Amino acid sequence: MLSHVTTPQDLDDRFRETLAALPAAVRRRDPADPVSDDAPLTGAQVLDLFDAQVTSRQLDLAGRWLRGFGEGFYTIGSAGHEGNAAVAAALRPTDPALLHYRSGAFYCVRAAQAAADSAATVGSAATADPKPSGSVPSGSVPSGSVPSGSVPSGSVLTGSVLSGSVPADFERSESRPTDREATDPEATDPESTGREATERDPAGSASAVGGFAAYEDAARDVLRGMVASSQEPIAGGRHKVFGRADLAIVPTTSTIASHLPRAVGMGLAVERLRRLDSVGRRTGAGVRVGGGAGPASVPWPPDAIVVCSFGDASVNHATATAAFNTAGWYDHAGLRIPVLFVCEDNGLGISVRSPEGWVEATLRAKPGIRYFSADGADPVQTYAVAAEAAAWVRRNRRPAVLHLRTVRLMGHAGADAESAYRSTAELAEELDRDPVAATARLLVDAGVATGEELLARYDETGWQVRRLAEEVLGEPKLGSAADVVSALAPRRPVRVARAVADAAARASGPGAGARVEAFGGKPPELAGPMSLAQSINAALADGMLDHPQMAIFGEDVAAKGGVYGVTKGLRDRFGAARVFDTLLDETSVLGLGLGAGLAGMLPVPEIQYLAYLHNAEDQLRGEAATMQFFSRGAFRNPMVVRVAGLAYQEGFGGHFHNDNSVAVLRDVPGLVVAVPARPDDAAPMLRTCLASAAVDGSVCVFVEPIALYHTRDLYAEGDGEWLAAYPEPGAWVSGHVPIGRARVYRVGSADDLTIITFGNGVRMSLRAAAVLAEEGVGIRVVDLRWLAPLPVADIIRESSATGRVLVVDETRRSGGVGEGVIAALVDAGYVGAARRVAGVDSFVPLGPAARHVLVSAEAITDGARTLLAR
């Protein structure tokens, strides 16, 4: 059956014709020698790159074959972009990578690097003395560097994946010493470096295990993704992505660069964590990263750099612009962000051309970002420039971009008919720039191999890839909705409650002295009744004390303490490294949080107003909420996003400062949405969110009603009944508020009517309930507290108790929270009476006009009377 697989015929035929036409070199070259004069790669190393490129190419062909009979579900391939194999070779296997969807060759090289590095580590462990504490993982130390003068200082060959002996004249790079060099004098000895390269290379090289064998595991990974196999190693059949925790490849599903802000956040966090003292790391309070467990840890070596690839069309996207601007902004401010952006430029965004010279001009113009460029069809140049760029970023801890010129072969994806927008001559020219053929031409011209030999490798890889494709076809798919959502957002309420209890024990025990000192000698429980804003402030401070890697950041949160004073004094207590202002861009604020969480921090970003969140919502939907889903929990981005929101600020704003729309948040699977109304709920709910983020990797949005920040009174002016005392640590356990549990207020007999509400509606409903109580009506007011997940059990129980339900929803009638409450009642078979009082489907106008479209206590009272009259 497989002998007839030749699709797409033209690319395969052209490659065969090219190799058949290559004249043999006059003399054969020793593969251990540089492939050309002054080249940074040996012939054997280029042969390894060729094998990786061919594996990627055959995977693309297999994807089209699988799609041809309905067994493959993803055909965006890497054909034409195989030059990124040399980029992977220039990096260390411990450098975290967020990869563009045309990164098949990069993935193959990284997988082989990691396997060779692991084999070398196992081998050395059996024969060598233990490495000194503080040494970085094997593979973070270069096994040799390039000939003096051929590639700028700092570039390295990593992992021994690229096979062949290191030439005798290779010298160690001039880059900043690694941790191993700092602790092991022998590591800086050129002779010992040469020994390490010689000893590790035969055991770890791709050639030593035989051509395709080095890339077989990577090929199987990719094929499993194509057929949606539940055994695919990262997403488990949920999507075809490039990702594996052991390869330091973070899965991204982005096609439009929405992962770039996360990369900037990762770079910032990697550098911040690198600077933390060892005590801070050792005493981390349970912030888990990657797939590990236990105390906080940094998942990558201290001198790691972040690599992030994307396409040329994505340069124009708002998220890319935000990421570049943020990286440059921080660089200009003197903060280090070690990120290498890799723009793979094939000149097209599906069918839309990038104007000639636009991408280069755009990338060169980015302030604070160093520009490098290379031709992806030239593996030697690509490796040399990528090594130079990576070394520059690693040494200087600053951002750079590598502009890699590529071509796109076989169209954008499956049914894309390129003839509709590209001429025959242009397509032929692209085929002439095939990077795999270019690598083959280099090998033949250098005398490393003949065209016939390379074609044999190509065919053998093709057979092996088709064999694997047939194997994975029989693997199981996800079999149920439960299977699909199992990795979405784990909830372990018992562990979260235990984390809160542990925090309480630390605050009242070994951390009591530091806590008193942090609060200036007067802990908040002794400060008397507090407002909502004051309670949140105190809870944030307690969170900072308990989570050493927690950071608070956003617009105006540091020196000013937030526009409403909620973060006032926190920078003075915990320092500018943990409480800091960001630039004015919500996408970047959330991107910093995403990257920081992935790198091992516990980020608490603030979005200044709810309306501004909509500018950047995809960072929550497409990036934050999908991370555990598409990695089966191998990667997480724990985060608690504080958002000042909702309406009722008559003295300030209009709709941007009085936004009452949360529908976009409630629609995101797995997202936790909390809305505290009372001071005595705010602190425990915030503690729960922090604990859930730390324990389960949850992404929580903490919506704080602006109009209630400084509210003091409930029924009458001066009564102070909206204030509440801050609980001492000994009361944190009894006052714990689990995610998805409501709070119930009983007024009078509480037998006649149930009001279900949240946020500002709680205060208004309690006022309405007091009026109705004077008329002999017993009310129970249910504060949802959590808008996602809704406290469905509490809703059903409290509604059934009276048989009459009034839903008070300060958001809009269409798409508002009330729709979800009513739906929950219907789904549960509730048969009593129900009615809604909700905001009008309108933006909130300025001043007193807002009263015409927002819910009022009077409207609640009238709605209740109408319901009671039925």
**Which residue among 239, 317, 657, 736 is the active-site one?**
657
Cα 545 from chain centre: 26
Neighbour count for residue 464 (Cβ, 10 Å): 18
C-alpha distances in angstroms, 847 versus 183, 651, 654, 709? 66, 6, 7, 19
- Range 826-840 burial, b when 16+ CB lie within 10 A, else e: eeeebeeebbbbbbe
| Tokens describing residue 860 | 């609640």
Of 517, 483, 526, 547, the C-alpha closest to 695 is 547
Burial of 725 (C-beta count, 10 Å sphere; 0-12/13-18/19+): middle
Within 296-350, where are the H helices?
A: 318-333
CA distance 765 to 750: 13
Residue 192: closest CA among 150, 135, 142, 156: 142
Write phi, then psi, for 6 (nearest 5 degrees).
-135, 15
Residue 46 CA to residue 135 CA, distance in Å, equals 30
Active site residue 547: no
**Residue appearing with tokens 């007067």:** 522
- List all residues 6 or more positions away from 628 whose beta carbon is below 8 Å from its beta carbon: 487, 488, 489, 490, 635, 636, 670, 697
C-beta of residue 371 within 8 angstroms of C-beta of residue 401: yes
d(C-alpha 11, C-alpha 410), whole Å: 8
For the chain, the first-to-last Cα distance in angstroms comes to 73
- Tell how strand 786-788 and strand 672-674 pair up: antiparallel
Alpha-carbon distance of 213 to 51, in angstroms, equals 10
Distance CA(7)–CA(408), nearest Å, equals 16
Burial classification of residue 807, based on how many CB atoms lie within 10 Å of its CB (0-12 exposed, 13-18 middle, 19 or more buried): buried
Structure token pair of residue 485: 């959502």
Q: In sequence order, what are the residues at sequence separation of 6 or more whose Cβ sits closer than 8 angstroms to the Cβ of residue 730? A: 504, 508
Cβ atoms of 703 and 675 within 8 Å: the answer is: yes
Q: Exposure string (b/e) for 323-334, b if CB count within 10 Å is 16 or more?
A: bbbbbbbbbeee
Catalytic residues: 657
